[in-house]
Amino acid sequence: MAPSDVDRVAALTTQLGYPSTAEQIACRFSRVDGQPQQIVFVADDAGTAIGWLHVAVHPYLESNPFAEILGLVVAEGHRDRGIGRALVSAAESWARALGCATMRVRSRVARERAHAFYEREGFQRVKTQYCFEKTIG
């Protein structure tokens, strides 16, 4: 991803279900850009972002490090063309280069289409969990 992608990435993030402005994406991207343990891949069509994938490596005390897809979206009208597959493949190559043997992704229970995509890509459901959140600031 490059700073010039923020407008289109904001629109894509909104399609994903997380309404975002270009300013918000620019601020968030500034915290991600240049971090060695994470990267945002963007798929483009004639210079226009049509998909993005954010992946990060997590070092844990209780397990070997693994990579996790933190977000993935392909624009409506561009789905089912292999773009998501290409983004996942790029993330897997990046993660392997950082020494990861495992890739994880979390997906909201209601996103059945996403679940089918990940299963086609070789991901297996390994657990069910709850997500807790607390406002701290």
Q: State pLDDT tens for residues 4-60.
A: 999 999 999 999 999 999 999 999 999 999 999 999 999 999 999 999 999 999 888
Q: Length of the chain, please?
A: 137
Q: Give ∠ CA 38-73-127 in degrees, rounded to 5.
A: 70
Domains along the sequence of the chain with CATH: 3-120 (3.40.630.30)
pLDDT of 123 over the 90 cut: yes
Q: How far is CA 109 from the centre of its chain?
A: 17
In tens, the pLDDT along 47-101 reads 999 999 999 998 889 999 999 999 999 999 999 999 999 999 999 999 999 999 9
Asked if residue 40 lies in contact with residue 54, where contact means CB atoms within 8 angstroms, the answer is yes
Q: How far is CA 57 from the centre of its chain?
A: 12
Q: Which of 54, 53, 49, 55 is nearest to 75 (CA)?
A: 49
pLDDT at 37: 97
